[in-house]
Structure 1
């Protein structure tokens, strides 16, 4: 019976080595397949119940061993919607089907892949080279809030305009401003006193047209920016600062400034109108602002050249100070606003945290979707399907949402983790083992023939 057992064992060896060669051939064939995970072969000895002194080495069985935890090299493609996972995890995808009317549908069952060569199709969906569609959360571009889950679809609709509601302003006002008039303080103008020396004015004053030259020569530029009305109309908001009072020992007077903006712009000084925002900005001897408090100031009824912006909040939380400056001019550290005109989508990109962002013709970059990425406690226990996809199994566990240290690299794809040189080495070893098993079979056959010839 030992000869027959040897023959059966050799047959199991042939099957196991053939199984290994099958995996090797698949790995080599997919050496250039995006996101492919090679399949290794593990061998297990199969023993019968025998006493220790009569125990034989037994037959063998071969099983596949997935390598989903082994990273492939990342390659830049230049396609902004391509993406690669640098670390653990899988993209969540779905494969399409059709309904009774022949329309494309997507089943609710999720699949998982490392293949990230996604591009936008005619319907605005992101599909990879194997025909799997990316799943994630759609986001409201204006609020950034999630609007739904499922297959990501990018809309080509123009983003509506957003009115300017906040101006972020951080700057240093010079303790001794350098003006063209030579005076560091703005006094009462001939056409009316527009200063606010303390607190806030009930009705902010405007500089008379006849006083424009005097005002400009006694104030310094505070910067300018483009702000937007509710309909997206842009206006050039120009600002100037004027120091209206200097600290005097024993009088309790503080260094005081007033902020003005051009409510009407023009090519000549007489055509311009400057309006006080109506609040006294005071500073202590250390150059720190003492009023207004709270870091913000509401500017009501802000209107430029007839375009109404409404109430705009001046956010000074970034810092408004009065330190000495040799230039005598204002140093602006932050001057920006939160509005924009309407715009159309011009480009897409993906961030390292998985947000798909759109760049619009108005210069804004807005988040449109959150790419779905999951992890598994036992990723090598997933079930491989066609197209580089994997399905969840009982042994893999439930999908865990989130990157957890993994980053997404936009404009790149992950290559196959097959090492062709290593596969050739395994193929040589497999060939030798297969050949050796055939020799065992021929030897066993010869021994059986010898046994039969005894009877003859």
Structure 2
């Protein structure tokens, strides 16, 4: 080949470097083109066939080498529909003019055109799979089109409601020192309460004397002291006059005188007088010690008069006498306690149980008894009133919350009445031998009544006895909004089992009849929800998770069936110092009609439309395509590529993986690198021109040889 071969090789070098220069020029020109993929130039030597020892360096050929797998920088963009691919793959597009064909691109500057399609800056429409209610419904990729029509209203069907109720609600009626003040009191709601509220009241009429006989009290004495300590001289007398008949008793050491010498005690001395008096009258008069004092009383039922005389009377303190009292004048204050009851009440017991708290009383009509452990001794030596006042005071102080307002009274009309006004929660039982004697043995269960609705007249009271459970706006079929306010009222709390009632504001309009309506009762066992009971036929309960209101009506407007869903373990009742309900979830699934305002791209690669009602809708799932050999794709205008045999078929990905919204991918051209290649290419081109010049001169010299 010789000089001509050298000349041809130099020319091929010029062509190859020109090709490289063209690629460098194109790369630099597109350094700001979105998603542009640069093209590098590769060189291949071309060796003619020749013996080994005669082989030459040969000419050169160039070819383009795509850099499709080299990602450009991801840049933020203000346009929400712009997107980039953070990884391999291509957006799947079609021509905006509808001419057909599938094109792949990394250019993600998509925006909405006048027809609602997402079109990039090169005029290619984005394709994806259609979606409905968040679920992919399409199977064939279609051009993504944004529908800017109104989003229709959706009726609310479910309220997701989860919260913790405080163990002790601090309502407006709550008083820390008053047990039960935190509870709802249904019996106070006149006209609204259902059932029959019962505050236990147990009474009984026991036999009473036909007459309270005359009696008199003397000095306070020690029954076990010697009679001689009374300093009654021998020969002194005590006269007891009964209805004009006088009995005289002379004191001295010798019978038949009343003995006073040691070892005679005061008690035995008075017993001696009692025996003589009963023998004389044939009755059952009493002479002895009562309430620590010398005491004389005529036979029960006697209306006779009683007077004392003699020199011994003042020494015994016997002077004033209570005359006989007829039934018409009986009062608890003048009725001697020991005259009451069948067989009397002395040394008998009275047991009063209120809501699990039992008080035991031992009645002592002589002042001589000793009570055992856990038993309260009650002095019954005085009047019924005095005895009952002691029992009443003890019940109020130690009988528990249900007995805090207890009253214990007796009168001739009602007999003994043990009443628990205001106690509608604690059951009462009365037992014991004294209860039998006084005819008050029995039990009565308390009943609070219940509330299914709260009238407007009682609304203020209800708000004071309940705590807020939050409020939420629900929507009708036409998108009409209404605020549903909820309140919780604790209705019982016994032995770790607490019951709450959930109410909602059913009518707040002026002149409304029912202001609040109960949804259901919730029972908590040690703070954990154990049961839900619906309020009547309008509420259906599903386990411990949800309830359905057949027809939710607020302010006269019906919103149809709505389910209140608490989820698993969504309702609890644990101690909270605030005393208020703590809502952890409160949302519903309805909304009003909304106008389209914008569209954006989610992290999952979904096209999301936003509306003025705050709702968003996934319009389409963007798909991407990858290839076994992406550098073998055929380039087209606008950064678009088509598949070739060498690239392989497109592998479609529907996951949206790697899609970044509000971003674009910059060109992967590196200006500094391109300028470096430019210098090298320029020098190589220049060197090849020198070869051409040198070869030309050599040819000239060869031609000059024949001159």
Q: Give the alignment's TM-score, normalised by structure 2.
A: 0.58
2:91 corresponds to which residue?
A: 91
Cα separation, partners in 2 of 1:194 and 1:366, compared to 1, 3 Å: farther
* 2:521 is the alignment partner of 1:280: yes
Return the alpha-carbon distance in structure 2 between the equivalents of residues 267 and 439 of structure 1: 104
Q: What is the number of equivalent residue pairs in this alignment? A: 434
* 2:576 is the alignment partner of 1:325: yes
- Give 1:94 shift: 0.8
Residue number among 253, 265, 269 corresponding to 2:508 in the alignment: 265
1:116 corresponds to which residue?
A: 108
1:220 corresponds to which residue?
A: 467
User: 1:235–1:307: 8 Å Cα contact kept in structure 2?
Assistant: no
User: 1:134–1:372: 8 Å Cα contact kept in structure 2?
Assistant: no
1:238 corresponds to which residue?
A: 485
- Give 1:272 shift: 5.8
User: 2:30–2:36: 8 Å Cα contact kept in structure 1?
Assistant: yes
Return the alpha-carbon distance in structure 2 between the equivalents of residues 204 and 20 of structure 1: 91
- Give 1:151 shift: 1.0
1:126 corresponds to which residue?
A: 118
Return the alpha-carbon distance in structure 1 between the equivalents of residues 29 and 479 of structure 2: 56
Return the alpha-carbon distance in structure 1 between the equivalents of residues 108 and 647 of structure 2: 22
- Give 1:304 shift: 1.0
Of 240-249 and 376-385, the range deviating more from structure 2: 240-249
Cα separation, partners in 2 of 1:238 and 1:11, compared to 1, 3 Å: same
**Secondary structure class of the residue paired with 2:147:** coil
Return the alpha-carbon distance in structure 2 between the equivalents of residues 298 and 52 of structure 1: 94
Return the alpha-carbon distance in structure 2 between the equivalents of residues 120 and 334 of structure 1: 37
2:79 corresponds to which residue?
A: 79
Higher gyration radius (CA): 2
1:41 corresponds to which residue?
A: 41
1:200 corresponds to which residue?
A: none
1:171 corresponds to which residue?
A: 163
Cα separation, partners in 2 of 1:89 and 1:179, compared to 1, 3 Å: same
Cα separation, partners in 2 of 1:403 and 1:375, compared to 1, 3 Å: farther
* 1:244-301, Cα deviation, whole Å (9 max, x unpaired): 221327xxxx211111111112469x76611111x3212221x221224352222221
User: 1:30–1:36: 8 Å Cα contact kept in structure 2?
Assistant: yes
2:452 corresponds to which residue?
A: 205
Cα separation, partners in 2 of 1:271 and 1:346, compared to 1, 3 Å: farther
1:151 corresponds to which residue?
A: 143
2:545 corresponds to which residue?
A: 295
User: 1:70–1:417: 8 Å Cα contact kept in structure 2?
Assistant: yes
**Structure 1: which 5+ residue stretches go unaligned?**
98-104, 198-202
Residue number among 329, 341, 365 corresponding to 2:592 in the alignment: 341
**Secondary structure class of the residue paired with 2:685:** helix
Return the alpha-carbon distance in structure 2 between the equivalents of residues 204 and 177 of structure 1: 19
User: 2:530–2:544: 8 Å Cα contact kept in structure 1?
Assistant: no
Return the alpha-carbon distance in structure 2 between the equivalents of residues 376 and 9 of structure 1: 38
Return the alpha-carbon distance in structure 1 between the equivalents of residues 507 and 48 of structure 2: 98
**Secondary structure class of the residue paired with 1:177:** coil
1:416 corresponds to which residue?
A: 667
User: 2:86–2:658: 8 Å Cα contact kept in structure 1?
Assistant: yes
* 1:309-366, Cα deviation, whole Å (9 max, x unpaired): 2221112116211110011100111111111001110111111221111111111122
Return the alpha-carbon distance in structure 1 between the equivalents of residues 655 and 561 of structure 2: 42
**Secondary structure class of the residue paired with 2:618:** strand
Of 287-296 and 56-65, the range deviating more from structure 2: 287-296
- Give 1:146 shift: 2.6
Return the alpha-carbon distance in structure 1 between the equivalents of residues 12 and 81 of structure 2: 48
Return the alpha-carbon distance in structure 2 between the equivalents of residues 68 and 394 of structure 1: 16
Return the alpha-carbon distance in structure 1 between the equivalents of residues 668 and 99 of structure 2: 30
* 1:64-107, Cα deviation, whole Å (9 max, x unpaired): 1111111222333311222222222211111134xxxxxxx352
- Give 1:405 shift: 8.4
**Structure 2: which 5+ residue stretches go unaligned?**
175-180, 196-424, 426-449, 533-542
**Secondary structure class of the residue paired with 1:324:** coil
1:101 corresponds to which residue?
A: none
**Secondary structure class of the residue paired with 1:394:** coil
Query: Aligned runs of 1:388-407 on 2, under 5 Å?
Result: 388-402=639-653, 406-407=657-658
User: 2:129–2:136: 8 Å Cα contact kept in structure 1?
Assistant: no
User: 2:131–2:619: 8 Å Cα contact kept in structure 1?
Assistant: yes
Cα separation, partners in 2 of 1:61 and 1:41, compared to 1, 3 Å: same
Return the alpha-carbon distance in structure 1 between the equivalents of residues 451 and 619 of structure 2: 42
Cα separation, partners in 2 of 1:265 and 1:52, compared to 1, 3 Å: farther
- Give 1:144 shift: 4.1
* 1:30-74, Cα deviation, whole Å (9 max, x unpaired): 112121111111112222344444332222111111111112223
- Give 1:409 shift: 2.5
Return the alpha-carbon distance in structure 1 between the equivalents of residues 601 and 474 of structure 2: 28
**Secondary structure class of the residue paired with 1:207:** strand
**Secondary structure class of the residue paired with 2:79:** coil
User: 2:456–2:513: 8 Å Cα contact kept in structure 1?
Assistant: yes
Cα separation, partners in 2 of 1:291 and 1:444, compared to 1, 3 Å: same
Return the alpha-carbon distance in structure 1 between the equivalents of residues 451 and 5 of structure 2: 105
**Secondary structure class of the residue paired with 2:522:** strand
Instruction: Kindly report the root-mean-square deviation, in angstroms, between the aligned alpha carbons of the 2 structures.
Output: 2.3
User: 1:194–1:206: 8 Å Cα contact kept in structure 2?
Assistant: no
Return the alpha-carbon distance in structure 2 between the equivalents of residues 394 and 352 of structure 1: 33
Of 115-124 and 321-330, the range deviating more from structure 2: 115-124
1:17 corresponds to which residue?
A: 17
